Every structure is written in structure tokens, then in C-alpha cells.
Structure 1
């Protein structure tokens, strides 16, 4: 039997690589005839993983992390018809049955059948159904025919694997944020956050035809990364009010669309840059978005945050200026990205060289052993997207 190793959450601030069970085509005590086992080609560290590792969720000790997965099928269940052994596939981070009302409506991020606690499930994530994560050597994927995106040419896909690995989450998530904010040709857009999702969102805004993409962050290296592919940038440590900073770029203190790629661990701006203020980004987005504009919110907000600044925030209750958003008739769109809504189209954009997404988010390949240090570097704000290569399969 093949051995398997995975990245486990140990305690706040600590992960380790452990030997774990080799996956089986099983769901508890019953066979999972609709599933496959993958040999992992690439699996990425995500900012959402960092929330757990920082101790900002109720994640249990020993949870195997990882929801951004690309791999080769090495075993397929009896009922899998269209995915074959040897196929190289992208795995949406959303686990979806393909049978429930929400799946049939394309809302695969809130499938009704894969998590007994609430709608929606993901690999290796707290309160998301107990599915084993994919920052490992091998993983089981259920409902394979529905969930998996097969790359049409395996050799071509391996040449572009640094880009294609991002289809499992951050590229569709950033794109979803831009789409739900109404980004289109000629738009002026503000993207809050220059982490990997924010950078993917900014690249998506360019792909959608935005005229100006402004990215705000507090880490100079991340702002430099955004500037490297044509974004305007705002250093949020500066005391210049955000509307005034935007006016210095586009002449008016507002934008057509805003996207929150930060989430619940947001900090204040200017003089409050060292203070956690979880509603900062949402309130700033309402302030700077024009009347009638839209705000996309792919940034993560949680219902349980033991490390929050007050009792309300621990339950996900934030001091949001909803009256301002209402007065301006702003639209808001929240929740997980339904990856399958976008991943095939974005795959085509990658394969036909319409976007250089790995370059935009600064992909760095690391080994499974190096993932522990990768988490530490990412937590310090490295302007990189760490991609784990467990088997040494990614070409230099």
C-alpha cells in the first residue's frame, strides 16, 4: 500500500507534515462508487487556510489542510463514466453532488447534500463537511464526473501547470469577485487586498476590460506585485483618506465597482493600520463605490471567530454602515465562488495565452516538506502564491 503524507493543523501558528491514511473510495462505512483517487500534482496554500492556522476559526487539531487541488486520476470508482485513469484534472474547492436543487441551479458553492451541518462543503476546511484536505500526496474526490475539470491535452497542461493549478480556487474566486461587482469594459475598479486572491481579481478585471484597476494594501511588496502587471496602487498605511487617494488617480473620489479580497481579518486604514477593524473594507467599499454601483465580496467572513476583537465579531456580527449602502443603492454579492461556473472558460483563457495568472500572483513552487516554512512566509505577507509539488512532478 502506498504511503500518504499531508499538512496538518497542529495549533495556532503551527502546522506539520504527518503520515496520514491512504485514501479509500469510501464515505464512512459505504463505498464511494462515484469517486476517484488522485495523485496530487499541485496543491496550493490559500489565505483561507491561514485563517485556520492563525487560530481564527474553530478548526480541530489534526485537520489535514488544503482545498486547492490538481492531480492525476489513479483509481476510479465503478460508477465513474467519463473521467478515466490517467486523466489530469482540476478539482473545484467546492464539493458538490450535482443532484440537489442548488447544484442544478449552478450554485455549487452551497450544495445541499455534502455537508450535514450547513449548505456547502470544501476539502480540508473547518465546518465544511469533514472532508480530508489535499495538501497531501493522494486524496479522494467524490462525484468525480460532475466535479472534475479534465485538461484536454496532458502535456500542454503540464507546461502551463503553474497557471492551471490556480483554477481550483483563487483565479475563479478573484474572477467571481470582479464579475459580481459588475466589472466590464471601461470600468474603474478598486480591489481591496493584494494577496493572491486580490491579485487574481485584479488580473481578472484586466481580462474583463477594466480601464483602471486600483489595488489597496499595506504591504509594499504586494503593492509592487500589483503594479508589475499594470495596476494603480494605494498604500493604506498612509493617512490620506481613501476617497482622496482614489481622486488623485482618476480625478474623482469614487469608482464604478469595488471588490473585497480581504475578509474578516481586515485592519484599519491610515492611523489605524495596526488595529484590527473587521468591517473596515466593507464600509470603505460603500463609501467609494458610486451610487448604483456593485460590491463583490469574495473575501472570507465567518460565523465563528474565537480570536475576534469583541463578542459580536466572534459571531460574525460587524458594525457595517448598511444605511450608506442602502442610500446609494449599492448591490452586494457574498459567499463562496461557484468554481464550476467559470473554470472551463478560464482554462481556455490560460491555454490560449489570454492571461498570465501565475505571473500576476507570483507562483512559487515548493515541496511538501517546505510547506511548513511556506505557511510562515505567507503569514508574514510574502508577495507569493505558494504551490506545493508533493511528488516533484512540476517541470522547472
Structure 2
């Protein structure tokens, strides 16, 4: 039997590459696996040889110790791979297929899945609706920052690339279909971006950059990206966005007015989440900052897309309320301005096929927008550390050297 190596969370600030079991079509016990999911048979699943798997900002929340993730949890929910084994109940996916894996795990059979709400599948996480690979409190499905991984419900979930050779040529773009591109796109769609719209994107990390590129694809007239890190803002500017540096100029409305002539936008997207910081040079962590600021600068009747992650448990929070996900949000302001807020995980399957077509046609240039940077599996711990320092890179792990060759 072949071996398997994977990136595992060790303790706050530390990950390492470990030898783990080769996957089979059963969810075995292990770090973070929900006891009610142990022994779950997955004849509807497949085994993938991982071609690419990405480091995500959501992973960083766990690695920083900002969740209850257990030591030994195998990380990684952004997975692209080649099918090497199919379960007895799989009819349409075949060995040799090159596929994108939605980070949401979804059965395809419950009410939510049938209504295209695959981000809140009711059958894959015993604790609550919604699940993901390699993530705390998401059912315990083993992560994909590894050489091989098991993916359940293959016929329903997997997006097969129509031409393997073409897909490999565009793999740095296509690898973003598992999460970051649909997540950014979902943020833009949720915010009501349409031709001619003016858009503010909070956060110039990879998700923020994906949201900004998505807003451009949807026809926005001006996309403004705000962040505290100059390097990330430079990346946003590289593909045509306006930018605001909130460390140097903390008044967001004034900066928007300098760009648009008015201190407000049609719609806004929160791509920061619960580890938000206040504005200004002496800023500290203030988890409601982004939510309050986007309500402030979005016009009355506007929409707010919130793909940024918020959690119900944050042991490293700045106060007792925030440790339970209770934030000081100016809901009265949002109510007075009749804002629409859309939150939650992204239903990847709602968007990934269309976004694949946009990539294959050359319309979407997502790898360029997020500065996709290829690394080996052994380089993953260094990639985590570099990403945590604020560099403007989206790290793509190549476990078998298939992309580099």
C-alpha cells in the first residue's frame, strides 16, 4: 500500500508534514473526527491523488490558535486531484478523471442540497448543517493538504475538467475553484454587484482579491479595495482596482469620496472576518470593525456580502463576548439604511462550473489576481509562516511535483 503525507496542525503557530494513513472509503477515527461520524462508509466516494491543494486564510485561523482545533488535525479544504479509485456506488466519475473538489461536503440528497444550498448540507456533520475537509467542528472529514485524500459523494460533488491537458496548463487558475474563486464570487453576487456598480471590498487577502476580480467580471464600474498592508493593496492595484490604505488614512468614507466624489458605494463585501483590526497606525484587534464600516459606507438600500469567516468559538478573542461570536455590530445603522446582509459559507457548486468556463475561455485570470505561488508539500510550513506575515501570495501546494514537471 502506498504511503501518504499531509500537513497537520500541531499547536498555535506550528504545522508540520506528517506520515498519515492512506485513505480508504471509510471515515476512520482521528484528530477532530466527530465520534458520530467514525466508521461512516463511503462507497459513494473516491480516492484522489492530489494534484494541487491551497493554503487558505481560514486555515490560518486554526493555525493561529483562534479555534478549538485539536493537535494533529490534517488541514486543507481546497483540493484538486486525479481519481485513482472509485467506490462501488459511484456511477459517473471514473478513474483518471481530473476534478475540482468543492470545500463544502454535501450529500446531494437532503433538502438543503436539493435547493442548491450545499454549504448547509444536513447529513454530513452531526453537530450542525455544513461541513468541510480538514476543518474544526465540521464533522472531521480528513483534510486534503496531503498526497492522497478520500472524497465522499463523488458523483454529486466533483467537477470534472473536460480536457486534462488543457486543465493542467491552467491548473493554477483551476485550483481556485474549490473555494477561493467561488467564495469571492459569492461575496460579489450576494452584495448585488451588477454592471455599473461601485463596490468596496474590505480586505486584500486572497479572498478579497478574488472578490474584487469577481466584481470586475460582473461589470462593476469601480472596485475599491481596503487593507492595512501596502503589499496586498499593490496586488489589488495590479489588476485595475482602486485602493485605500486604512493604516495610513483611517477614515474610509473620506477616501471613498476622493475616488468617487461621494462617501459611499452601491455595495460592499467583507473579506476579513472575525480577526478584523481597527483602522489607523496604532490599530488593535476589533472584530466588528469591518461590519460596521461597510454599513457606514454603503448607500441606503444597498447589499452587503459577507464571505469573511465568523465563528461561534474564538478562544483568543479580545473580550468574553467575542469568544462566543457576539460582536458589537451597529445593527440599528444597517436597519435604518435598509441593508441586506448575506452571510455563511459559500455554496461552491452553485458557481464552480460557470467559473471553470470563464477560466478555460480566458475570461477570468484568477491566478494572476491572487498571485498564485507554487510550493512543495515540504515547503508548506514555511508557506504558512510567510502567509501569516501578510505577504500577498496565494500558496498552492504541489504534493507530487506534477505541476512543476
2-structure distance, mates of 1:30, 1:11 = 28
1-structure distance, mates of 2:40, 2:194 = 47
Aligned to 1:8: 8
Q: CA deviation at 1:240?
A: 4.5
Counterparts of residues 23-172 of structure 1 (less than 5 Å): 23-27=23-27, 28-29=38-39, 31-172=41-182
Aligned to 2:367: 358
Q: Secondary structure at the match of 2:208?
A: helix
Q: Is the 8 A contact 2:250 2:279 kept in 1?
A: no
2-structure distance, mates of 1:164, 1:30 = 30
Can you list the C-alpha shifts for 1:138-171, whole angstroms capped at 9, x where unaligned? 0000000001000000000000000000000000
Aligned to 1:174: 184
2-structure distance, mates of 1:279, 1:31 = 41
Residue of 335, 338, 342 corresponding to 1:329: 338
2-structure distance, mates of 1:50, 1:148 = 25
Can you list the C-alpha shifts for 1:65-117, whole angstroms capped at 9, x where unaligned? 00000000000001100100000000000000000000000000000000001
Counterparts of residues 229-244 of structure 1 (less than 5 Å): 229-244=239-254
2-structure distance, mates of 1:255, 1:319 = 23
Q: CA 1:319 to 1:169, structure 2 compared with 1: closer, same or farther past 3 Å?
A: same
RMSD over aligned CA atoms reads 0.8
Aligned to 2:305: 296
Can you list the C-alpha shifts for 1:16-70, whole angstroms capped at 9, x where unaligned? 0000000001134353210000000000000000000000000000000000000
Q: Secondary structure at the match of 2:321?
A: helix
1-structure distance, mates of 2:180, 2:154 = 21
Instruction: Compute the TM-score of the two structures, normalised by the length of structure 1.
Output: 0.99
1-structure distance, mates of 2:263, 2:45 = 51
Q: Secondary structure at the match of 1:205?
A: helix
Q: Is the 8 A contact 2:187 2:269 kept in 1?
A: yes
Matched, 1:342 2:355: no
Can you list the C-alpha shifts for 1:259-312, whole angstroms capped at 9, x where unaligned? 000000000012552x00000000000000000000000000000000000000
Q: Secondary structure at the match of 1:311?
A: coil
Unaligned stretches of 5+ in structure 2? 28-37
Aligned to 1:374: 383
2-structure distance, mates of 1:170, 1:23 = 25
Q: Is the 8 A contact 1:159 1:395 kept in 2?
A: no
Can you list the C-alpha shifts for 1:168-226, whole angstroms capped at 9, x where unaligned? 00000000000000001000000000000000000000000000000000111100000
Q: CA deviation at 1:355?
A: 1.1
2-structure distance, mates of 1:305, 1:383 = 25
Matched, 1:257 2:283: no
Moved more, 65-74 or 231-240: 231-240
May I ask how many residue pairs the two structures share in their alignment? Answer: 395
2-structure distance, mates of 1:67, 1:121 = 10
Q: CA deviation at 1:239?
A: 3.6
2-structure distance, mates of 1:24, 1:200 = 34
Q: Secondary structure at the match of 2:290?
A: helix
Q: Secondary structure at the match of 1:244?
A: helix
Aligned to 2:294: 285
2-structure distance, mates of 1:14, 1:96 = 30
1-structure distance, mates of 2:249, 2:191 = 27
1-structure distance, mates of 2:186, 2:219 = 15
Unaligned stretches of 5+ in structure 1? none
Aligned to 2:33: none
2-structure distance, mates of 1:19, 1:131 = 17
Q: Secondary structure at the match of 1:360?
A: helix
Moved more, 27-36 or 368-377: 27-36
Q: Is the 8 A contact 1:49 1:66 kept in 2?
A: yes
